Amino acid sequence: MVNESMLFYGDNLDILRDHIQDDSIDLIYLDPPFNSKADYNILYKEPDGSQSKAQITAFGDTWHWTEETERTFQEIVDTSTADIIDMMSAFRSFIRANDMMAYLTMMCIRLIELRRVLKNTGSIYLHCDPTASHYLKILMDAIFGSENFRNEIIWCYKSRHFSKKHFGRKHDVILFYSKTTDYVFNWQDVLRPLSANTIAKSRYEDEIGRYRLVGRGIKGSPIQSAKDVDPKWEISNPELVKRDYLREGVPIEDYWQIDILNQVSKERLGYPTQKPEALLEKIIKASSNEGDVVLDPFCGCGTAISVAQHLNRNWIGIDVTHLAMNLIKRRMKNQYNLEAGKDYKVIGEPRDLSGAKALASQNRYQFQWWALSLIDARPYGDKKKGADTGIDGFIHFNENNDIVKKVIVQVKSGNTSVKDIRDLGHVVDREKAVIGIFITLEFPTRPMKEESAKAGIYTFPLNNQKIPKIQILTIEEILNGKSPQVPVSYRESSFKKAETKPKENLRLFDE
């Protein structure tokens, strides 16, 4: 039984299989890659508030048929139900072993696991776009059963997209399925508010001063017509009147008009494909109750889990990049003052030196991003797309009023030598920075320490604090609580700060 909130780093297929029990989740929302064949960059801001030109690819939304895909497809054939096997075989016969088939194979194996972990009273909302929604709907029919299809929700939004070859594409598709016919659906919690004009025409003040509707106040409405014919109608039909008093809005349809997040939105955190909180609020209110467990297996910057927290639900978020993990932890801290590891569990991140070495051997970019998050540094650039600049991350701080100074951060996961320290000093000078921080998995040699000492001291003018210009920190030291020497009180964050949520909405799990 899941009874606390958790954030997982790793492939969601592995996390689902290794950590999530059968029939333990009340609501699943997933916004997976759409097979758009594009790279999506995470956007940071400069100290002056402008968007940084140095952006990092958060994920590449391109899929190809590989040996791994072939193995996954064969696993589906070997272990799935007849309906799923027939559907995937038909897809492959029609689509062939191409990029779209690779995408559907990736989705199929995960949707099977998502159905397993979903409670019988639970629901799943699959967010997609028209490029693959028709395939995904057939796939969902095979996995969840066509009898459990509830809605194809159309999310409409304004955008600047324009083409001379087709109509403007300004909607996404959200496929809503339940696991059984006995599912949670709180339609009354997501009513569309009545207009002020309607309320003014038809409101009635009850015995304790609440305004309730007795009818639309328009000629021809059932209650109004009955009252015109028989003034005592209300007395003889109390249940009908009571039912209409309680109507505080209009049940919503399967098309939702919610604006996307523009560049100046307070919600916007710079993460690609970030969805508005209003969209997730409708889904979570309608298909879960307080205390339920909401799962987002592609959680990105954490909008679903943030809204779940706000609405007093437990949550489980999964993502495969440390860029996303860092953003989510910042978001939970800024919005709800929640500390990772204290107020919710974080699973999959390295906790010791051996775990850090394992991550470095698996993926040096993920290791680099994780290491930078330990000292609250902003990742820099996309090393996979250009020459190495000698910069892995930045820290900024205010030296005096509006004067912003830079700290250069380098992260090394392999062998190091005194040459690396000299090179960092050159980069610090070239970039007109004042401090350089060298993070390493290995213990520094004596020549490395001597070279860093030769770099001299930076004096912070506001309090005459003496700070080593070149600093060496090992991962083990950082994990044990050591921090770089930077004027912390004057630091300028390079991350967009999430808007704080009201304190009355905070919810912590019991340890």
Give the per-residue pLDDT at 502: 60
Whether 127 and 37 share a structural domain:
yes
Whether 198 and 60 share a structural domain:
no
Helices assigned H by DSSP within 203-321:
222-229, 233-236, 238-245, 277-287, 303-310
Confidence of residue 463 (pLDDT cuts 50, 70, 90): confident
Residue 363 belongs to domain with CATH number: 3.40.1350.10
83 token code pair? 């309906």
Give the per-residue pLDDT at 497: 60
Whether 210 and 318 share a structural domain:
no
Q: 76 is in which domain, residue-wise?
A: 6-163+170-185+253-347
Give the integer Cα–Cα distance in Å for 396 and 269.
Answer: 18
Q: Is residue 457 part of a domain?
A: yes
Whether 463 and 378 share a structural domain:
yes
Reported pTM: 0.82
Q: Is residue 203 part of a domain?
A: yes
Helices assigned H by DSSP within 145-259:
196-202, 222-229, 233-236, 238-245
pLDDT tens per residue across span 167-176: 888 899 999 9
Q: How far is CA 162 from CA 128, 158, 170, 259, in A?
A: 20, 11, 10, 17
Confidence of residue 158 (pLDDT cuts 50, 70, 90): confident
How many domains does the chain contain in total?
A: 3
Whether 422 and 484 share a structural domain:
yes
Q: Final residue of a domain: which of 214, 230, 250?
A: 250
Give the integer Cα–Cα distance in Å for 334 and 449.
Answer: 37
Name 394's bridge partners: 378, 408
How, if at all, do strands 6-9 and 403-412 pair? Answer: unpaired
Buried-exposed string 496-510: b where 16+ CB fall within 10 A, e elsewhere:
bebeebeeeeebeee
Contacts of 203 (CB under 8 A, 6+ apart): 211, 212, 213, 214
- CA 221 to the chain's CA centroid: 45
Angle between helices 12-19 and 99-117 (to 10 degrees): 20
Pick 63 or 224 by higher pLDDT: 63
Q: Final residue of a domain: which of 347, 379, 398?
A: 347
Are 68 and 77 in contact by the 8 Å Cβ rule? The answer is no
Whether 427 and 482 share a structural domain:
yes
Whether 457 and 361 share a structural domain:
yes
Q: How far is CA 106 from CA 35, 71, 88, 477, in A?
A: 11, 11, 11, 39
Query: Mean pLDDT throughout 280-307?
Result: 96
Q: Is residue 11 part of a domain?
A: yes
Whether 86 and 69 share a structural domain:
yes
Contacts of 78 (CB under 8 A, 6+ apart): none
